[in-house]
Structure 1
Amino acid sequence: MPRPKKVLVPALALALVAGCNGGGGATGRVQVFVEAEDTIPEGLQPGTGEENIVDGWAADYTKFLVVVGNFRAGRSADTSASLSDPAVYVVDLLNLPVGGFVLTEFDDVDAVRWDRVGYDIPDASASVEAAEGTSAADLQFMIDNGFSIYVEGAITKADGQSCLPGTDDCAPATEVKFAWGLAAGTSFDDCAPEEGDAGFAVPSGGTAQIKPTIHGDHWFFTNITQGAEITERRAQWVADSDLDRDGETTLDELRMVKAAEVFTPELGYSVTGASIPVTTAYDYLAAQARTLGDFQGEGECPTRAPL
Structure 2
Amino acid sequence: MLRSTVITLVTAFAALAGCTAGGGATGRVQVFVEAEDTIPEGLQPGSGEENIVDGWAASYTKFLVVVGNFRAGRSADSSASLSDPAVYVVDLLNLPVGGFVLTEFADVEAVRWDRVGYDIPNAPADAEAAEGTSAADLEFMVTNGFSVYVEGAITKADGVSCVPGTDECVAATEVKFAWGLAAGTSFDDCAPEEGDAGFAVPSGGTAQIKPTIHGDHWFFTNITQGAEITERRAQWIADADLNHDGEATLDELRMVKAAAVFTPELGYSVTGAQIPVTTAYDYLEAQARTLGDFQGEGECPTRAAL
Is the CA contact (8 Å cut-off) linking 1:184 and 1:306 kept in structure 2? yes
CA offset at residue 22 of structure 1? 6.7
CA distance in structure 2 between the partners assigned to 1:18 and 1:78 by the alignment = 19
Shift of the 7–18 alpha-carbon distance from structure 1 to 2, 3 Å rule, reads farther
1:172 maps to 171
CA distance in structure 2 between the partners assigned to 1:7 and 1:202 by the alignment = 17
CA offset at residue 272 of structure 1? 0.3
Is the CA contact (8 Å cut-off) linking 1:73 and 1:114 kept in structure 2? yes
1:220 maps to 219
CA offset at residue 130 of structure 1? 0.1
Shift of the 146–30 alpha-carbon distance from structure 1 to 2, 3 Å rule, reads same
CA distance in structure 1 between the partners assigned to 2:274 and 2:6 by the alignment = 32
Is it true that 1:18 corresponds to 2:12 in the alignment? yes
2:156 maps to 157
Find the residue that maps to 1:300 and give its secondary structure. Answer: coil
CA offset at residue 192 of structure 1? 0.1
1:83 maps to 82
1:269 maps to 268
CA offset at residue 18 of structure 1? 1.8
1:115 maps to 114
Is it true that 1:4 corresponds to 2:31 in the alignment? no
CA offset at residue 5 of structure 1? 4.0
Find the residue that maps to 2:69 and give its secondary structure. Answer: strand
CA offset at residue 17 of structure 1? 4.6
Aligned length: 301
Is the CA contact (8 Å cut-off) linking 1:6 and 1:105 kept in structure 2? no
Q: AA paired with 1:227?
A: G
Find the residue that maps to 1:140 and give its secondary structure. Answer: helix
Q: AA paired with 1:140?
A: E
CA distance in structure 1 between the partners assigned to 2:251 and 2:90 by the alignment = 26
CA offset at residue 166 of structure 1? 1.0
CA distance in structure 1 between the partners assigned to 2:153 and 2:21 by the alignment = 52
Alignment of 1:3-152 (within 5 A): 3-10=1-8, 17-18=11-12, 21=20, 23-152=22-151
Q: TM-score, normalised by structure 2?
A: 0.96
Q: Which runs of 5+ in 1 are unaligned?
A: none
Is the CA contact (8 Å cut-off) linking 1:6 and 1:107 kept in structure 2? no
Is the CA contact (8 Å cut-off) linking 1:19 and 1:109 kept in structure 2? no
Shift of the 43–19 alpha-carbon distance from structure 1 to 2, 3 Å rule, reads farther
Q: AA paired with 1:270?
A: S
- Bigger drift between 172-181 and 17-26 goes to 17-26
Q: AA paired with 2:232?
A: R
CA offset at residue 6 of structure 1? 4.6
Shift of the 203–45 alpha-carbon distance from structure 1 to 2, 3 Å rule, reads same
Query: Which 4+ stretches in 1 moved above 3 angstroms?
Result: 5-8, 19-22
CA distance in structure 1 between the partners assigned to 2:58 and 2:139 by the alignment = 27
Is the CA contact (8 Å cut-off) linking 2:11 and 2:107 kept in structure 1? no
Is the CA contact (8 Å cut-off) linking 1:19 and 1:107 kept in structure 2? no
Is it true that 1:240 corresponds to 2:239 in the alignment? yes
Is the CA contact (8 Å cut-off) linking 1:6 and 1:106 kept in structure 2? no
Percentage of matched positions with identical amino acids? 86
Q: AA paired with 1:97?
A: P
Is the CA contact (8 Å cut-off) linking 2:34 and 2:99 kept in structure 1? yes
Find the residue that maps to 1:254 and give its secondary structure. Answer: helix
CA offset at residue 24 of structure 1? 1.9
CA distance in structure 2 between the partners assigned to 1:18 and 1:28 by the alignment = 12
Q: AA paired with 2:217?
A: H
2:206 maps to 207
Q: TM-score, normalised by structure 1?
A: 0.96
Q: AA paired with 2:188?
A: D
CA distance in structure 1 between the partners assigned to 2:251 and 2:297 by the alignment = 32
Q: Which runs of 5+ in 2 are unaligned?
A: 15-19
Shift of the 292–19 alpha-carbon distance from structure 1 to 2, 3 Å rule, reads farther
Q: AA paired with 2:155?
A: T
